[in-house]
C-alpha cells in the first residue's frame, strides 16, 4: 500500500485519532496512489500510525478511517456501518441521522433515515469513489425501499467534486414523506428540502418546546416547516407565530398543522426577514425560539456572523415577556459554544434585560460528536429565562 509520511512532531493529533491530516503536516509520499485511494500513514521514522483515504485536491489531504493495520475492505465498511446502525437501535422517531460522518468515524458520509427511505450525502472524494458500495451495504443491512443522494452541498467543491443529486439505490422516494417525530406528523421533501430534507438535529429540542408550551404564546423565528410550532400547538400552546423568509416552507408549516389536526386559527405564518421583523414587531411572547441558518461558514466569517447573532438575540430579548423564555441557537461549526454564549451575553447587556441559563442545548443522540473531533459539535443552544 502507498504511504504518506508525516512531518516530525506532527504525529500527535493522528495518534489521538483526530480524523484530518492537512497538507502542511505531510513530509512525503511513497509508492503509487490515485486520488481517493486508501493509504498508510507513517511517522517520520516509518512507524505505522493509521490508514485513511487521500485527496491531493483537498486541503484536508487525508481523512483517517482506522488506527490498526487490518485491511479497509468491504467487510470493514460493513462493520462500521452496522456499528452506526446499532447505535440508533433505540430511536423511536421514524426519521433520524443514521451516519454522522467523522463523528461515526466515517468521514465525509452522512446518511439520514426517513421511514423506508434513506438520503445520503457524499462530502469527499474518498466517499464518492465508494458510494455505490456503501449504498449496497445499506440496502442489505436495512429494510428500505430506496436511497436518494443529496450531494448538492458546497463543501464538495473543496474536494474537487461537482454537486449531484439522484437515486443511488432502489426506488424513487415520493415527493412528500410523512415522518413521525415525537408522535407528530411532519411532511418532508427529500428532493428540495434543506439539508437532506429536514432539520433532524432539533428533534429533541422540539420535544422540549412541547413540554413548555401549555397556554403559551410562542414566536418561532426561522421556522422552516414549523416543527417547533407543531409540537407547541399539539401540547396546548395558545398561539404560535412562525416566521421564515421562504413562502414555500411556510406553506408546508401550515400543512403540517393540518396533518396533526391542529387548529389553523391558533397559528400565523409570516413571510419576513427575521432581522427586519424583529425591529417592527410590537408584541410580547412567552417563548421565543431563535434558530437561524449557519451565519459563519468558516473562521473568516466569524466577525460578521457574531454581529448577526448579536443583532437578532438583542432584538429577540426585547420581545420576551418578563418571566418568559428565549431558546436561542447557533449551528455554525466555526463558532464555539463558549463564544456563542459570550455573544448572547453581549446582546443581553445591550438589551437591559436579565436572563438565566436554564439549559445548554445540543443536537440529539443520533448526532453524536466524536470526542476526538470538537469540530463535530456544530449545534449549540441556550434555553434562557428572561426578566
Ligand atoms: N427551526 C427549524 C429549522 C430552521 S432552518 C426547524 O426546527 O426545522 C433556518 C430557516 O431560516 C430556513 O427555513 C430559512 O428559510 C430561514 N431563513 C434564512 N434566512 C432568513 C432570514 N433572514 N429571515 C427569515 N428566515 C430566514
Per-residue tens of pLDDT for the chain, all 387 residues: 899 999 999 999 999 999 999 999 999 999 999 999 999 999 999 999 999 999 999 999 999 999 999 999 999 999 999 999 999 999 999 999 999 999 999 999 999 999 999 999 999 999 999 999 999 999 999 999 999 999 999 999 999 999 999 999 999 999 999 999 999 999 999 999 999 999 999 999 999 999 999 999 999 999 999 999 999 999 999 999 999 999 999 999 999 999 999 999 999 999 999 999 999 999 999 999 999 999 999 899 999 999 999 999 999 999 999 999 999 999 999 999 999 999 999 999 999 999 999 999 999 999 999 999 999 999 999 999 999
Could you identify the atom of ligand 1 that is nearest to the CA of residue 329?
Answer: 1
Residue nearest ligand 1's atom 11 by CA:
222
Pick from 194, 223, 311 the residue to mutate for probing ligand 1's pocket: most ligand atoms within 8 Å of its CB: 223
Pick from 245, 275, 308 the residue to mutate for probing ligand 1's pocket: most ligand atoms within 8 Å of its CB: 245
Q: Residues near ligand 1 with C-beta < 6 Å?
A: 199, 202, 222-224, 227-228, 244-246, 249, 273-275, 291, 293
* C-alpha 236 to ligand 1 mean position (Å): 24
Residue nearest ligand 1's atom 10 by CA:
222
Residue nearest ligand 1's atom 16 by CA:
222
Pick from 222, 309, 327 the residue to mutate for probing ligand 1's pocket: most ligand atoms within 8 Å of its CB: 222
Pick the closest to residue 111 from 72, 74, 82 (CA basis).
Answer: 82
Q: Grid coordinates representing 96? A: 433520524
For the chain, the residue count is 387
Pick the closest to residue 84 from 13, 137, 38 (CA basis).
Answer: 137
Cell 491531493, residue?
56
The predicted structure's pLDDT at residue 1: 87
**Measured between alpha carbons, how far apart are the two ends of the chain, in Å?**
63
* C-alpha 188 to ligand 1 mean position (Å): 15
Tell me the C-alpha distance between 11 and 2, whole Å: 18
Cell 456499528, residue?
83
Active site residue 331: yes
The predicted structure's pLDDT at residue 60: 97
Tell me the C-alpha distance between 229 and 215, whole Å: 13
**β-strands 38-42, 3-6 pairing:** parallel
The predicted structure's pLDDT at residue 236: 98
Could you identify the atom of ligand 1 that is nearest to the CA of residue 246?
Answer: 15
Tell me the C-alpha distance between 125 and 115, whole Å: 28
Pair 284, 232: CB distance under 8 Å = no
* C-alpha 144 to ligand 1 mean position (Å): 30
Pair 187, 249: CB distance under 8 Å = no
**Of these residues, 234, 331, 383, 384, which one is catalytic?**
331
Q: Grid coordinates representing 118? A: 434513506
Pair 52, 63: CB distance under 8 Å = yes
Pair 141, 110: CB distance under 8 Å = no
Geometric angle at alpha carbon 263, from 203 and 114, rounded to 5°? 30
Pair 242, 219: CB distance under 8 Å = no
Residue nearest ligand 1's atom 23 by CA:
273
Overall pTM surpassing 0.75 (yes/no): yes
Could you identify the atom of ligand 1 that is nearest to the CA of residue 199?
Answer: 8
Residue nearest ligand 1's atom 7 by CA:
227
Residue nearest ligand 1's atom 22 by CA:
273
Pair 147, 138: CB distance under 8 Å = yes
* C-alpha 245 to ligand 1 mean position (Å): 7
Residue nearest ligand 1's atom 21 by CA:
273
Cell 401549555, residue?
214
| Distance of alpha carbon 247 from the chain centroid | 23
Could you identify the atom of ligand 1 that is nearest to the CA of residue 198?
Answer: 8
Amino acid at each position: 500500500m502507498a504511504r504518506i509520511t508525516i512531518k516530525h512532531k506532527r504525529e500527535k493529533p493522528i495518534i489521538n485519532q483526530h480524523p484530518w491530516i492537512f497538507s502542511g503536516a505531510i513530509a512525503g509520499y511513497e509508492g503509487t496512489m490515485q486520488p481517493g485511494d486508501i493509504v498508510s500513514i507513517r511517522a517520520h521514522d516509518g512507524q505505522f500510525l493509521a490508514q485513511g483515504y487521500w485527496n491531493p485536491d483537498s486541503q484536508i489531504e487525508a481523512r483517517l478511517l482506522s488506527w490498526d493495520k487490518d485491511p479497509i475492505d468491504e467487510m470493514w465498511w460493513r462493520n462500521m456501518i452496522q456499528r452506526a446502525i446499532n447505535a440508533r437501535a433505540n430511536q423511536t422517531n421514524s426519521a433520524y441521522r443514521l451516519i454522522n460522518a467523522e463523528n461515526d468515524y466515517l468521514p465525509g458520509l452522512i446518511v439520514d433515515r426517513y421511514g423506508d427511505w434513506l438520503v445520503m450525502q457524499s462530502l469527499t472524494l474518498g466517499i464518492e469513489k465508494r458510494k455505490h458500495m456503501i449504498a449496497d451495504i445499506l440496502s442489505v443491512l436495512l429494510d428500505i425501499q430506496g436511497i436518494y443522494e443529496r450531494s448538492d452541498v458546497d463543501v464538495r467543491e473543496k474536494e474537487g467534486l461537482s454537486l449531484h443529486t439522484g437515486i443511488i439505490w432502489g426506488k424513487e422516494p415520493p415527493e412528500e414523506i410523512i415522518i413521525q417525530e415525537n408522535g407528530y406528523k411532519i411532511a418532508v421533501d427529500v428532493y428540495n428540502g434543506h439539508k437532506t430534507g429536514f432539520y433532524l438535529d432539533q428533534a429533541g429540542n422540539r420535544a422540549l418546546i412541547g413540554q413548555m408550551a401549555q397556554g403559551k404564546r410562542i414566536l418561532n423565528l426561522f421556522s422552516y416547516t414549523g416543527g417547533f410550532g407543531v409540537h407547541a400547538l399539539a401540547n396546548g400552546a395558545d398561539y404560535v407565530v412562525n416566521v421564515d423568509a421562504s413562502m414555500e416552507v411556510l406553506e408546508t408549516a401550515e400543512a403540517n398543522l393540518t396533518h396533526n389536526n391542529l387548529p389553523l386559527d391558533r397559528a400565523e405564518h409570516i413571510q419576513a426577514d427575521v432581522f427586519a421583523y424583529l425591529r417592527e414587531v410590537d408584541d410580547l411572547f412567552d417563548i421565543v425560539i431563535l434558530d437561524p441558518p449557519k451565519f459563519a461558514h468558516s473562521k473568516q466569517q466569524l466577525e460578521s456572523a457574531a454581529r448577526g447573532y448579536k443583532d437578532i438575540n438583542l432584538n429577540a430579548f426585547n420581545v420576551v415577556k418578563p418571566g418568559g423564555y428565549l431558546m436561542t441557537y447557533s449551528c455554525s461549526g466555526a463558532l464555539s459554544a463558549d463564544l456563542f454564549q459570550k455573544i448572547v451575553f453581549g446582546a443581553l447587556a445591550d438589551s437591559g434585560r436579565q436572563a438565566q441559563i436554564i439549559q445548554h442545548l445540543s443536537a440529539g443522540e443520533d448526532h453524536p460528536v466524536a470526542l476526538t473531533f470538537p469540530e463535530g459539535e456544530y449545534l449549540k443552544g441556550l434555553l434562557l429565562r428572561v426578566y
